[in-house]
Structure 1
Amino acid sequence: MIRKLTEKDHQLVLAFLSEEPSINLFIIGDIEVFGYSSEFQEIWAEFDEQNTIKAVLLRFHQSFIPYAKGEFDTEGFVSIMKRYNQPVLLSGKSEIVEKFEAFDELTLGKKQVTFFAECLTDEFLGAEDHDIAIKQATIEDVDQIIKLRESIEEFHVRSDAREIFVQAMESNTARTYYTVDHGVITSCVSTTAENSMSAMIVGVCTRKDYRRQGLATAIMQKLFKDVLEEGKTLCLFYDNPEAGSIYKKLGFKDIGKWTMYRG
């Protein structure tokens, strides 16, 4: 049986999702921030005969994320997604979301597969460099951080990046640490989709003139220490094996693959 969840199901669904807090950080975060009665967000779950959750489907605006631990009613979830605009914006653990490729009635967007890694320890970071001053960003720093990201060739900065950045900071689902030299931000790293159990690392960058000075390592050390001391796991996506080898030296381990279908 599939039914829409309400606030009464909160502890039950969080217990189900918390067994893989990194994989489920988007679902957990959206539930904690936006709840069960928002116009742009809905959560459904499939239950077995013992009223135990088998699978969950989150809708956030036009994006869907399913999660299950075994076989689930894929067709039932498809019937829900068909009610909304096509193509379907779908993402999630690869072995789960790729089951939906078999349904011709769903129009899936362009497929992208990335590695998904998590870190539970800061023991591989080395000693902190206490000569490097690190600050935590406030709303006043947003414009300069966006400009720094725009200067990085590998980054694609969306037109609504500032609005998303501010909203995330105000809802405490993101934080950014940075270094500064004479009023100019030189390096930064952020979390996103941060919730009570996990946080994703994004936006690691250093201004070209300040690279190879240990700035990114220093702010990563600070971020790791603070997030892990709060009892959260750290996770990130990567699709470049070279980048993956760097993250693994910092203590990250692959826990699966993440597939996205985008229009």
Structure 2
Amino acid sequence: MIRRLTAEDHQQVQDFLQQLPTFALFLTADIEKYGYESSVFTIWGIFSHTQELLHVFGKYYNTLVVYSNTDHYPAAEVCAFLSDQAIKYDTLVGRSILAEQFFAHLSFTDIYRNYYCELKPEHFTPLINEQLNVTKADLSHTEAILKLLTSIEEFSGLDFQEEAIKTYISDGGVYLLRENDEIASLAMCSARTERLANIGGVCTAKPYRQRGYASTVVSTISQTYLEQGLICCLSYNNPAAGAIYHRIGYQPVGHMIVARK
């Protein structure tokens, strides 16, 4: 049985999501930030006949996030439910072994198979050029941030929501390195919980690559959240980016898929 989750389900949901907290980060973060009654986030549960919570999926803006503690996911049932309820989305995100089960039922134009990594304090080796000035973004940078993100070839096909970017900025989670009055490199915290922070949107404009800018920005934002007692997480499918992250201390914990219709 599939039904929308409410605040009355909160403890059961939290217990369920904490079994694989790194892979549940996005859903946990959205629940903490938006709760169960929101115009931008909705979460559903799949229950057994004894009311045991078996799987969950959530919709944040136009992104569907799937999660389960097992390697099986009732993709056909979820697809039928979404179709019957006329629930629209254009991006699917989830642990690879779960997301792949949707491929028999849905067509996607772009599929990104990412390494998922986490950084703990004991592994952190910052790569910071002290001559570079990394600052937090403010709302006046929104348009320039979107312009840079949409110019990155590796991000082609991804849907960056202006309102989501503004939320990240307002939360103090977007870090910039500026040069010649433009954004040269950036990284942002796209989701955080009481224990974890997800670092995403890492990019450098073409004229400023191979200068160590991304290393400095990622090290700076990672250090900020580590100092707050959080474990940092990020994903990548670009080997060059992965080499930077591993040098900083990020270690692989699994694989994630981002698939866009």
TM-score greater than 0.5 by the shorter chain: yes
Query: Which residue of 180, 198, 201 maps to 1:200?
Result: 198
SS at match of 1:67: strand
Counterpart in the other structure of 2:78 = 77
CA contact (8 A) 2:114 2:236 kept: yes
**Residue of structure 1 in register with 2:97 after alignment:** 95
CA 1:121/1:183 → structure 2, altered by over 3 Å: closer, same or farther? Answer: same
Query: C-alpha distance in 1, partners of 2:149/2:61?
Result: 26
Give the match for residue 118 of structure 2: 119
Which of structures 1 and 2 has the bigger CA Rg?
1
Aligned equivalents of 2:158, 2:110: Cα separation in 1:
19
1:20 matches 2:20:
yes
C-alpha displacement of 1:223:
0.8
Query: Whole-Å Cα distance in 2 between the matches of residues 43 and 165 of structure 1?
Result: 21
- TM-superposed CA distance for 1:77, in Å, is 2.8
Measured after TM superposition, the shift of residue 226 of structure 1 is 1.1
Which structure 1 segments of 5+ residues have no match? none
Residue deviations 1:104-146, cap 9 Å, x none? xx44333514123222225442464444332111112333434
Q: How far 1:96 sits from its partner (Å)?
A: 1.4
The percent identity for this pair of structures is 28
Deviation at 1:222, TM superposition (A): 1.5
Q: CA deviation at 1:182?
A: 6.5
Match of 2:7 in 1: 7
CA-to-partner distance for each residue in 1:180-220, whole Å, 9 max, x for gaps?
45754443222213333333323333455554444332222
The RMSD of aligned alpha carbons is 3.3
Partner of 2:256: 258
Q: Deviations over 1:45-68 (max 9, x none)?
A: 234576542211223355432211
Measured in 2, the distance between the counterparts of 1:144 and 1:13 equals: 38
| Residue 60 (structure 2) aligns with | 60
Amino acid at match of 1:59: K
Match of 1:43 in 2: 43
Q: Is the 8 A contact 1:148 1:185 kept in 2?
A: yes
SS at match of 2:43: strand
- Alignment correspondent of 1:108: 107
Please give the alpha-carbon distance, in whole angstroms, between the structure 2 residues aligned to 1:16 and 1:250. 31
List per-residue Cα deviations over 1:22-69 (Å, max 9, x = no partner).
322221222222221235543222345765422112233554322112
Shift of 1:168: 3.2
Aligned pairs for 1:114-263 (under 5 A) are 114-122=113-121, 123-126=123-126, 128-149=128-149, 154-156=154-156, 162-170=162-170, 172=171, 175-181=173-179, 183-208=181-206, 210-263=208-261
Say which SS state the counterpart of residue 116 (structure 1) adopts: strand
Whole-Å Cα distance in 2 between the matches of residues 33 and 259 of structure 1? 23
Unpaired stretches in structure 2, ≥5 consecutive residues: none
Retained in 2: the 8 A contact 1:176–1:188? yes
Measure, in 2, the Cα distance between the counterparts of 1:74 and 1:189. 33
Amino acid at match of 1:133: N
Describe the superposition over 1:58-87 as per-residue Cα deviations: whole angstroms up to 9, x where unpaired: 233554322112245555434422222578
Judged with a 3 Å threshold, the aligned counterparts in structure 2 of structure 1 residues 12 and 181 are, in CA distance, closer, same or farther, namely: same
Asked if 2 retains the 8 angstrom alpha-carbon contact of 1:22 and 1:233, the reply is no
CA contact (8 A) 2:191 2:199 kept: no
Contact 2:92/2:260, CA 8 A, preserved across alignment = yes
Q: 1:129 to 1:238 in 2, by over 3 A?
A: closer
